[in-house]
Copies of this chain bind each other. A is one copy, B any other.
Amino acid sequence: MSYNLDGQTLADIARGAAIMGTGGGGDPLVGRMLVQQALDEGLRVKVIDAHEVADDDLVISTAMMGAPSVVVEKLPSGDEAVASLRRLEEHLGRSAVATIPMECGGLNSMIPLLVAARAGIPVVDGDGMGRAFPELQMETFGVYGVPGSPLVVSDAAGHTALIETGTDNVQMESFARAVTIRMGGASYIAEYSMSGADVKRTAIPGTLSLARDLGRSVREAREAHTDAFAALIQAVRSSIYGYARPLFSGKIVDVSRGVVDGFTAGTVVIEPFDAGLPMVIDFRNENIVAKVDGRTVAIVPDLITILDLDSASAITTEALRFGQRVRVLAIATPPIMRTPEALEVWGPHAFGLDEPWVPVEELAAT
């Protein structure tokens, strides 16, 4: 099931990762360009299944941390993310046989591919978030007992901080966030070092390939002038996510946006094309709850993505504008993200919402 990444597959993953970013996580485009550059230089990226890693092998998760907008303005060379990996390996006294995304949605789908190319190691097809989330403790790795610490954070100057907080992943996130801000708002991290056995037990499997399949569905539908949304739903149904449905179609008539606790928080209002009540979506980096007439139709951690009606391209919360014609898609989270211990970390309460999580497929049935 392993494969070497080519340019088209890379573009498909980026397109699908934007959908799985649920409005947050940053546009994968800049990351895709950096990986493409590495491929053009003749470097290779091998995507492997978790079961191809031996149980006692070491795997380290890699990512960027902070504001994707900073990454766009100050392009990384790729060495920054590798530097964090190498520093963590040095600390552990062992080399990683592979890296794995912590977050398959948004820009962070691309960073581990860049690390894989530059460090000459494969990348595991899976991740710790199954979408985009705003904080480092929000990973299945941590939910199921892998400490995120020791974590290394690096910047372009080669400066590093090695953070050790035992099993306290919330403090780890806090310290790494503080240093990242002082590094200019964006940094590169290596964290959640784990055994192959832990990867198999705790990672959400196949999420890079799901992103690829979503991206491919949209591309092929565009080429064939067929319904991209139907193809997306079909692609989700063939994955462990299993369920997706279009929630709403309409025109954006209002967007309000502010910064709350360091998050981009706000609300978008979408009016239906036919006469009817609008959909209101609250976001907090990512889209977190969608309502019609005060009734919740999808809520975090289920995925809520706003796509351009014509191109089926995902629209990030920063890019939402008055007048955009959009379709809202909901994707169910897989079972590994729906356990009580998982919902404790990323259920509605973690985002300041007062209502319980109800699976999107149940909400659709009511």
Contact = CB atoms under 8 A, between A and B. Distances in A.
Nearest to A154: B164
A164 B164 contact: no
Interface string A242-269: 0000000000000000000000000000
Interface stretch (A37-45, A170-178, A197-205, A300-308): A170-178
* 6 nearest A-B residue pairs (beta carbon): A178-B178, A162-B162, A159-B165, A174-B182, A178-B182, A161-B163
Interface of A: 157-166, 168, 171, 174-175, 177-179, 181-183
Nearest to A173: B182
Nearest to A171: B159
Nearest to A164: B160
Q: What is the count of identical protomers in the complex?
A: 2
Given A159-B175, A163-B179, A178-B178, 12 more contacts: A157-B166, A157-B171, A158-B166, A159-B164, A159-B166, A159-B171, A160-B164, A160-B165, A161-B175, A171-B182, A174-B182, A177-B182
A93 to B, nearest CB: 12
A177 B178 CA distance: 9
Contacts of A168: 157, 159
A179 B151 CA distance: 14
A159 B160 CA distance: 17
5 contacts: A157-B166, A159-B164, A159-B166, A160-B163, A161-B163
Nearest to A160: B164
A335 B191 CA distance: 47
Contacts of A182: 171, 174-175, 177-178
A66 to B, nearest CB: 13
A183 B181 CA distance: 16
Nearest to A163: B161
A177 to B, nearest CB: 8
A165 to B, nearest CB: 4
A162 B176 CA distance: 12
Contacts of A183: 175
